[in-house]
Structure 1
Amino acid sequence: MDVKSAFLNGILEEEVYVEQPLGYEVKVFTENNPSMFDEFKREMAKDFEITDIGLMSYYLGIEVKQGEDGIFISQEGYVKKVLKKFNMNDANPFGTPMECGVKITKQDGGEKVNSTYFKSLVESLRYLTCTRPDIFYSVGIISRFMEEPTTTHCKMTKMIFRYIKGTIGYGLFYVSSSNFDIVGYCDSDWSSDLDD
């Protein structure tokens, strides 16, 4: 639902106080109840000009596909844009985001690269972790080297982009179910960090 309203932009030099209006009521929707949503829309339409735009399909660069069995979110469009930005469209896909057992340090002897460019690469990947937990660990590793990146760090970062190129349609699927288990994993191998 799109609520149309006016916003004034400018520098305020006065103190502004805001207070909740009398009769204001907070409604919380906790279940998938179509009649409750219809009532909410009617109430909103009394005070605001609104347009019902249907189910959400896109939000902050995240594509949303809603179905009977659940909701799938991904960033396929963003991935394509980022691959193009960093000239990785023609890169060969790689099967994993990082080679197993690789240990890198801040001072690996590689030639230094432009830190602004490297930070841009890493930040693009960090935004992708919203819908791609499969790259979270690898992106965390390369994030350690943003201050003084080398060609080795850049090569590892581009390997993650190659993995993403081969898995462009991956995302998160939230199943409609009342019966689920939450399972978490943690890497507690602090001895493999060669810098700290």
Structure 2
Amino acid sequence: MDIDHVPVRGTKPLSEVYMKVDITTVEPTNFEEAQAQEGWRQPMLDDMNMIHKNQTWDLVARLVHRKVIGVKWVFRAKQNADGTLNKLKVRLVVKGFSQKYEIDYFETFAPVARLDTIRLLVALWKIHQLDVKSGFLNGFLDEKIYVEQSEGLNVQAKKGHVWLKGGTKGWYDRIDSYLASLGFERSLNEPTLYVKKEGDETLLIVSFYVNDLLMTGGNDAMLTNFKGKMRSMFEMSDLGEMSYFLGMEAFALQSLNRFSMQNCKATSTSVAVREKLSATRPDIMFAISLLSRFMHCCNVNHFQAAKRVLRYIKGTLSFEVMFTKVNNMKLLDFADSDWAGSIDEMKSTSRYLYTLGSTIFCCSSKNQSIVAQSIVEAEYVVAAAAIN
């Protein structure tokens, strides 16, 4: 027996501890911890190679009159749909919180696709997915940014960087201009949705969520041609037809593990505690809306309700929104409200959903901001919200 692997009396081996808390990979918090663990060095080298390949910065001498922004390593263990380890990912990020407005940055806003838009694309055609490698490094900066490199030397950033204010906007502006050059028109209501038409016929639809590109269309040859043009401009991975996006199922499992309820009994009550899960589960939206009202004034009753919610999640992990082929792609809207359903505030709850073809792609359940004086007024408010 190897005495080095025998736990001290009264303690447990790390492998048993990790199994108890369902930890597969411990994410380092700093460079020193990463150096002491196996597997993190190569992802760090890959990130540095990508930075140099994109010519993200220039090496310059330190300027006395300019503030230099610090950097740090961030380590993440990316997971598959079932929560298992996919790969180790490392990013050298800029400490954007130390930037000064109108000196280091100006405009910072960059939109991301709404989940309603993504569900709408799924309802239309099969979705193909592209993953842009280090997307922020492809955006150009208008400002002069100086960040740390090593003792006595700095680097001047020429392109966007992770956590750099303005980096996200630089990436959005870059891909927006490139899609426009390919003949795509941007939606007026959804700035991350692009459509390419020929006459009245829609050929391609493209949307993106940060550096994940989603595309669909009825012509496979045009999809292949578009992928080729994107790969010629940006380094990216072709993930094929989309089967997993944003890790919703993995998040549900993590929620159970976080509260030590992974082995709890299932329940049939339709409630939930975390808003993120509602992205693919319309059945939990009302529960989210109701429980979120007591986040800052909760008591034992609310904790009991939250535990029941987790048991419901445990018993319904296989529930999903199904998109099936139909002959009639008809857009339908359903809206309703309960008048003065909130006993404390006498406010009503607005609920609406949209379907296209076979299933729901847009839904909402929220407390109304005003106190409706009648059932008619409550219904009018929800109708206006649904139309908007």
TM-score range, shorter chain: 0.5 to 0.7
Distance 1:79 1:36 in 2: 37
Letter in 2 for 1:194: I
Residue 60 (1) aligns with residue 225 (2): no
Counterpart Cα distance in 1 of 2:260 and 2:275: 18
Query: Which residue matches 1:36?
Result: 222
TM-score (norm 1): 0.66
Q: Alignment partner of 2:322: what SS?
A: strand
Aligned CA distance change for structure 1 residues 24 and 129 (closer, same or farther; 3 Å) = same
Runs of 4+ in structure 1 over 6 Å off: none
Alpha-carbon offset, residue 180 of structure 1: 4.2
Relative distance call for 1:91 and 1:178 in structure 2 (3 A) is same
| Partner AA of 2:328 in structure 1 | N
1:88-132: per-residue Cα shift (whole Å, max 9, x none)?
11222111225xxxxxxxxxxxxxxxxxxxxxx83xx21101111
Residue number in structure 2 paired with 1:26: 183
C-alpha contact 1:97 1:159 (8 A) present in aligned 2? no
Does the CA-based 8 Å contact 1:4-1:49 persist in structure 2?
A: yes
Given the alignment of the two structures, is residue 83 of structure 1 paired with residue 256 of structure 2, yes or no?
Answer: yes
CA positional deviation for 1:59: 2.1
Identify which of 261, 271, 292 aligns with 1:143.
Answer: 292
* SS of aligned partner of 1:52: strand
What does 1:176-195 align with in structure 2 at a 5 Å threshold?
Answer: 176-181=325-330, 182-186=332-336, 188-195=337-344
Q: Residue in 2 aligned with 1:92?
A: 265
Query: CA deviation digits over 1:5-30, x for unaligned, max 9?
Result: 67143578xxx9x7847x82333214
The offset of 1:84, in angstroms, is: 0.6
User: Judging changes above 3 Å, is the alpha-carbon distance between structure 1 residues 35 and 146 closer, same or farther for their aligned structure 2 residues?
Assistant: same
1:161 equivalent in structure 2: 310
CA distance in 2, matches of 1:189, 1:164: 26
Larger Rg: 2
How far apart are 1:51 and its partner, in Å? Answer: 3.3
Q: Deviations over 1:27-78 (max 9, x none)?
A: 32143210101111222333333432212232222xxxxxxxxxxxxx3222
Q: Describe the shift of the 1:145–1:48 C-alpha distance in structure 2 as closer, same or farther (beyond 3 A).
A: closer
**Which residue of the partner structure matches residue 232 of structure 2?**
46
How far apart, in 1, do the equivalents of 2:261 and 2:335 lie?
Answer: 31
SS at match of 1:54: strand
Root mean square deviation of aligned Cα = 2.8
Instruction: Give SS of 1:51's match.
Output: strand
Higher relative contact order (CA 8 A, sep 6+): 1
Alpha carbons of structure 1 residues 46 and 166: separation in structure 2 relative to 1, 3 Å:
closer
What is the total number of aligned residue pairs between the two structures?
153
In the aligned structure 2, how far is the partner of 1:129 from the partner of 1:44?
32
Q: How many Å separate the matches in 1 of 2:257 and 2:134?
A: 36
In 1: Cα distance, 2:228 partner to 2:341 partner: 59
**Equivalence for 2:275:** 126
Contact in 2 for aligned 1:97/1:135 (Cα 8 Å): yes
Match in the other structure for 2:372: none
2:332 matched to 1:175? no
Q: Deviation of residue 185 (structure 1)?
A: 4.3
1:158 Cα deviation from its structure 2 partner:
1.6
Match of 1:58, SS state, is coil
Structure 1 letter corresponding to 2:225: E
Alignment-mate amino acid for residue 2 of structure 1: D
The residue type paired with residue 189 of structure 1 is D
Q: Is there any run of 5+ residues in structure 1 with no aligned partner, and where?
A: 62-74, 99-120
Distance of 2:333 and 2:313 partners within structure 1:
24
